[in-house]
Amino acid sequence: MWTMRRNHAAETGHDPTGITVQDLNASYEGVSALHDVCLNVEPGHLCGLVGMNGAGKSTLFKALMGVITPDSGTVRFSGMTGRQARRSGMISYVPQQEDIDWSFPLLVEDVVMMGRYGVQNWLRTPRRQDREAVRAAIARVDLDDFAHRQIGSLSGGQRKRVFLARGLAQQARILLLDEPFAGVDKRSEYTIVGVLRDLASRGATVLVASHDLHALPNLCDEAILINHTVIAHGPIDEVLEPHSLSRAFGLEDTDYAAPQELTR
């Protein structure tokens, strides 16, 4: 199994930034979505977020980014709230699906340039450093030959790499990814895994929501099991064990194999 390297700020030139959540509670229209969530993901860690549909993974991501206001509790990134961190460009989010008109003539480099909007002036006129960041991000996900292609002409895995490149162009220190391996080809999966490992080795904090229990041990060094609250959090080989998985997926303890069946 691959082991994470941690050289943090010395390699990035940035102060390391982790994720700290304390006693977080969130609800929708009076229905609890998260309760008493406490967790800490340190810089340089690649952490999996595992839970069944409706377990609160998306709500947690929204709370981390300051998109929703929790009922109580705190989210902090080096003293910043989620909203402050998002507005400062500290956090980058790669969603499972993008609300894009795939027939619109939008080029790959245009999509990746969106990651630079937070550091551009109000006219959003690309500067040399913006173009360089975009080129580097596209190269990092192995799409150099696709920079001037319309994004609608790409495969699902290639599109996922484009959106990852957008996050790379943003040069955020915290990356949140929702199901990055859903519907991707093996080459894209290999590329994405390599990029995420490299980011973590350079001190970034990476949180990956995924149903794929088979892929996570080869990607992450730790995992969080969630079912509206944190069931377990720690080294991945200790967390992804039958009893904790059964609790996270709302199954009987005797049905240990069932959570893995849900990922197929």
Q: Which long-range contacts (CB under 8 A, 24 or more apart) does 130-134 make?
A: 133/169, 133/171, 134/109, 134/165, 134/169
Cβ–Cβ under 8 Å, residues 147 and 179: no
Q: What is the pTM of this model?
A: 0.85
Nearest to 42 by CA among 191, 244, 206: 206
Task: Provide the token pair at 111.
Answer: 């999509």
Domain boundaries, the chain: 16-90+173-186+195-264, 98-171
| Residue linked to tokens 């290639």 | 158
Computed on alpha carbons and rounded to an integer, the radius of gyration of the chain in Å comes to 18
Three-class secondary structure assignment of 203-246: CCEEEEECCCCCCHHHCCCEEEEECCCEEEEEEHHHHCCHHHHH
- Render each residue's pLDDT in the chain as its tens digit; 264 residues: 333 334 443 333 445 689 999 999 999 888 999 999 999 999 999 999 999 888 999 999 999 999 999 999 999 998 899 999 988 889 999 988 766 666 788 899 999 999 888 777 677 778 889 999 999 999 999 999 999 999 999 999 999 999 999 999 999 999 999 999 888 899 999 999 999 999 999 999 999 998 778 878 889 999 999 999 999 999 999 999 998 898 888 776 544 454 444 433
Residue 125: φ, ψ to 5°: -85, 115
Q: Strand order in 222-226's β-sheet?
A: 91-94, 174-178, 205-209, 46-50, 222-226, 230-235
Q: Which fold has domain 16-90+173-186+195-264?
A: Rossmann fold (3.40.50)
Neighbours of 219 (CB within 10 A): 25
Output the pLDDT for position 88: 86
Please give the single-letter amino acid code of residue 248: A
Output the pLDDT for position 16: 62
Output the pLDDT for position 182: 86
Task: Provide the token pair at 187.
Answer: 């080459």
Output the pLDDT for position 260: 46
Nearest to 183 by CA among 167, 161, 207, 214: 161
